[in-house]
Amino acid sequence: MTAPSGKRNQLVLFSIALCAALALFAGARLRLPGELRLFAADPAVLPLTPVSGAAYTQTATPFQPLPTRSPTATLTPTHTVTSSPTATFTPLPSSTPLPPTATDAPLYPLPDDLPGEAQIEGVHGYAQAYNLTCEARSAVDWARFFGGNISEMEFQAALPLSDNPEVGFVGYYDDPMGRLPPLAYGVYAAPVAQTLAGFGVDAAAVSGYSLNDLRRQVASGNPVIVWVVGNTWWDGTPVDYRAEDGSTVTVVRFEHTVILTGYDAYGVTLVDGGQVYWRSYDTFLASWSVLGNMAVIRQ
C-alpha cells in the first residue's frame, strides 16, 4: 500500500531543507576563528607566546632565493711550440794538438832548469804581536824553519834604530800603521839580515831580485822574506823620503813583510803572519816591486 501523494511531497521538501541546513552549517565551520581553523592562511602571523618581561615581535623573513652556482671557467689548452734540437758540431780529432789559449798559457814562463811548481812544507807563521812588528815576526818564523829559536820581541829589541829604514827601525813598534818616516814606519832588509846573523842564522839582504831568482830559491827548499804593500795588495804609491843622513829612500804606506813558500804556473803562496794565501803573479809583482824587489834570502 503506498502513502498519499501529499505526505510524499512533504518528505521531499523536508529532505531538501535538511540538506541545505547541513550545507550552511559546514560552511560556517570553515570560517571559525583562527584557533579552530585547520589551516592558517599566513604562517608569519601565528600568535606567539611573549618572552617573560619583554615584548617580542616576529618579523616575517623575506624570501631568500637559492644561491646560483657560477659556472667554473674551463681552461683551454694552448699549443706550445717546441723547438727542434739543433745539431751540435763535434770536431774530428786532429793529429796536431791545438795551441793553449791565452788563459791557459803562463804569463811568466819558467826557465827549463826549474820545476813547474814547488811548495815548501814546514814554514809556520804566527800573528804579529804589535802594529809594526811584521819584520820581526817574519824574521823569527823564517829563522825557525832553519833551526833558529828567537822570540818576536827579542828580535825587535835587537834591531838598530834610525829615521832611515835602510839603517834601522823607524819609530815605535806599536804606533799606528800606514804612516811614513820620520813617523813610525818599520825597517828594511839590510838591518833584518844583520840582526838574523847576530842570532846565528845565515841570511843576506838583496834588492832588485827577479821572479826567477825567487822561484829558484823556493825550488831549492829555501823560503824567502819579501817586502810588499799591505797583505800583498795590488800596489801602492811610492814616496821619496830624505833621511837625516842625507840619503833618499823610497817608502810607502802600509809597508809589510811576508814569507814566500811556493809557486805554480800562475802565482805564489805566501805566509803572512798567521795566515797563508795565494796571489797571482801580476798582483804579487806589482806589490813587491814598489820597494825595489827587496828580500832576505838564505846565505
What pLDDT shows up at residue 5?
52
What pLDDT shows up at residue 207?
97
What pLDDT shows up at residue 104?
58
Domain ranges for the chain, please list them: 120-298
Output DSSP code: residue 45: G
What pLDDT shows up at residue 19?
61
What pLDDT shows up at residue 228?
98
Provide CB contacts within 8 A for 177, sequence distance 6+: 131, 132, 254
What pLDDT shows up at residue 84?
42
Looking at CATH, the fold of the domain delimited by 120-298 is given as Cathepsin B; Chain A (3.90.70)
What pLDDT shows up at residue 296?
98
Range list of H helices, the chain: 5-30, 134-145, 152-158, 189-198, 211-219, 281-288
Q: Report the run of H or E that residue 242 belongs to, with start and end.
A: strand 239-242
Output DSSP code: residue 289: G
What pLDDT shows up at residue 6?
55
pLDDT beneath 70, residues of the chain: 1-105
Paired strand residues for 260: 224, 270
Grouping H, G, I as helix, E, B as strand and the rest as coil, residue 215 is helix
What pLDDT shows up at residue 106?
75
Provide CB contacts within 8 A for 176, sequence distance 6+: 131, 184
Q: CB–CB of 223/216 below 8 Å? A: no
What pLDDT shows up at residue 234?
77
What pLDDT shows up at residue 98?
41
